[in-house]
Amino acid sequence: MTKIVVVTSGKGGVGKTTTSAALATGLAQRGHKTTVIDFDVGLRNLDLIMGCERRVVYDLVNVINGDANLKQGLIKDKRVEDLFILPASQTRDKDALTLEGVEKVLEGLKEMGMEYIICDSPAGIEKGALTAAYFADEAVVVTNPEVSSVRDSDRILGILSSKTRKAERGEGDIPASLLLTRYSPERVERGEMLSVEDVKDILAIDLLGVIPESQAVLNASNSGAPVILDSESDAGKAYEDAVARFLGEQRPHRFLTANKKGLFGRLFGAQ
């Protein structure tokens, strides 16, 4: 049984691609055969974050158009077994994505025995984002703790409840969970950021995880290794927790309080 997961947000720059890469890598690390697809046609980034940009031959649009078959389009990750990447096209625009074409690709991946397909959605609420979400069984909504990001996530949640295939077939809303990224407990304490509770209260969905603002994320992007592979970093640990929760494990949320107590903070941070 394949599960299709859309990673979406409405707003740009909140960490969708970082999250898609981390989630896909984390699932594959746990032995689940996973493909992560970059739906941001025209602005491809996922291959950079995944560190496979120098191995891209074909892309999603090539596969949809039949220029290449699925096996040729998929890039196998060198670090993690069972992890595949389907990059976006840099030269085409979003009109190249058709629902029929995307469905064909997803069916092909199912036949290959993928357990999870992670769809990295482009920002916005236009065709690209709708196409990425249409076939999803589940959504991960990435939000930063600030009002405009939260409002855009709210808008996306509304769209998900009516514009997915499941919703159109009357099978109800797809489950959606919240991943709060770039969280800075210090700034929350100073009142410069919304708290986890504020965001949960506004969006009224389950919390999958809180990823702290971290230099490790930038380092990971620059080095082309998903941050979850940096298992010593706070962000890496937080993503690891989120993956565990995604698979049904119960784990307490970490990195929610300012780390100023020295020893205590370290003890809790390292638990």
What does the binding site for another protein look like in residue numbers (CB under 8 A)?
151-152, 154-155, 157-159, 161, 173, 201-204
Q: Among residues 161 and 219, whose Cβ is nearest to another protein? A: 161
Q: Among residues 85 and 157, whose Cβ is nearest to another protein? A: 157
Residue 16 Cβ, how far from another protein at the closest point, in Å? 18
Q: Among residues 202 and 244, whose Cβ is nearest to another protein? A: 202
Among 34, 75, 40, 80, residue whose Cα is nearest residue 56: 75
Residue 161 Cβ, how far from another protein at the closest point, in Å? 7
DSSP letter, residue 90: S
Residue 18 Cβ, how far from another protein at the closest point, in Å? 24
Q: Among residues 167 and 225, whose Cβ is nearest to another protein? A: 167
Residue 200 Cβ, how far from another protein at the closest point, in Å? 11
DSSP letter, residue 135: T
Q: Among residues 48 and 202, whose Cβ is nearest to another protein? A: 202
Residue 141 Cβ, how far from another protein at the closest point, in Å? 11
Query: Residue 183: which H helix or E strand, with range?
Result: strand 176-183
Residue 176 has phi, psi (to 5 degrees) of -130, 140
How far is 236 from 151, CA to CA, in rounded Å?
27
Residue 204 Cβ, how far from another protein at the closest point, in Å? 5
Q: Among residues 63 and 160, whose Cβ is nearest to another protein? A: 160
Burial 101-137 (b: 16+ CB within 10 A, else e): bbeebbebbeeeebbbbbbbbbbbbebbbbbbbbbbb
How far is 104 from 5, CA to CA, in rounded Å?
16
User: ∠ at Cα 190 (187, 191), nearest 5°?
Assistant: 90
DSSP letter, residue 55: G
| SS3 category, 178 | strand
Residue 198 Cβ, how far from another protein at the closest point, in Å? 11
- Round to the nearest angstrom and report the end-to-end CA distance of the chain: 34
Q: Among residues 162 and 250, whose Cβ is nearest to another protein? A: 162
Q: Are 22 and 227 in contact (CB under 8 A)?
A: yes
